[in-house]
Amino acid sequence: MKATAKANANIALTKYWGKRDKKLMLPQNGSTSMTLSGLYTVTTVEFDKKYEKDAFVLDGTELGEERAEYKKVKKHLDLIREKAGISEKARVESKNNFPTAAGLASSASGFAALSAAGAEAAGLKLSSQELSALARMGSGSATRSVLGGFVEWKPGEKEDGSDSVAEEIAPKEHWPEFRMITTIVSTTEKKVKSRAGMAQTIETCPYYRDWLATVNEDIENVKKGIKEKNFALVGQTAEYNCLKMHATMITTKPAMIYWMPTTIAIIHGILAWREEGLESYFTIDAGPQVKVICLEKDVPSLEKRLQATEGVQKTVVCKPGEGVKLIEEHLF
């Protein structure tokens, strides 16, 4: 009863911000994303009678039962046990190859990997849609990391959440020239986690209803742009959607401003470079890291400029990546 899975992070091209059902992790609105090659989580899960309690090791450190991360993992293991009809406790070891909880979608890859490894170790045979629904219960954005390439997360209409699942817009092979350069400007965990931030926004932001009123048009434009390989349409829509989401965060009480000076510097850089004819666009999740959307031919020039920007610690170039998969190499 042991299995290991590897899942890539994903970055939303049109964002999900806000839940309509916190227990079932159902979103207020749908979203689209690209699954990234190069930023991933590997997780091993073992259910065994020898374990007296669940244990969770993250990036080499065992987390105590009082930690929020431990509680989320235990809750997810309970869900898997319930589905599989088993009672054994589990040991979970997980490693990210990028900073945790810093705005790089570590919860997306983390819960996609945990869901796949946990389901396999528990003897569950789930379809990709069932697996995406399971991953959603751990982290909303994990729904999308189950699939590769370009993905849409449907908000669903059913009260039980069974239709709130991920669907492929196009496989990774569809647009091999598409790139996303992830910039690391801070490795510090953000003070306000996404889950708390969403609830705060819904409760206090006067513009949140406008976000909901316009997001579906953004989704359709991104899907159209991906299918037609219309880079400008995808980039412009993603950038606009990102700014709208951050506008709701900034106008929340108390305000959530995730951007740092380097974040602003990169934004201004991209706007200037675009005027010079270097076509690129930015998107930013709930954190300070800027993701630069571009085509393969412009990566060398953009990387050079980004790395010369004060405060940029690292850049990672990502292609469209594959969905979650089981692997043979266990972490323990």
Query: Would you say residue 174 has pLDDT above 90?
Result: yes
Instruction: Give the residue numbers spanning the domain of 314.
Output: 178-318
pLDDT for res 190: 73
Q: For a pLDDT cut of 90, what percent of the chain falls above it?
A: 91
Domains: count for the chain: 2
Answer yes or no: do 148 and 264 share one domain.
no
Mean pLDDT within 273-288: 95
- Look up the CATH number of the domain holding residue 259: 3.30.70.890
| Residue 145 near residue 41 (C-beta atoms within 8 A) | no
The verdict on 160 and 47 lying in the same domain is yes
Examine the pLDDT at 295 and tell me if it is beyond 90. yes
pLDDT classification of 192: cutoffs 50, 70, 90 = confident
Residue 191 has pLDDT above 80, yes or no: no
For residue 250, being part of any structural domain is answered with yes
**Residues 130 and 185 grouped into a single domain:** no
> Which tens digit of pLDDT belongs to each residue from 118-161?
999 999 999 999 999 999 999 999 999 999 999 999 999 998 99
Identify the CATH number of the domain in which residue 86 sits: 3.30.230.10
Would residue 324 count as lying in a domain? no
Q: Pick from 156, 175, 194: which residue ends a domain?
A: 175
Are 18 and 147 in a shared domain? yes
Q: pTM to 2 decimals?
A: 0.93
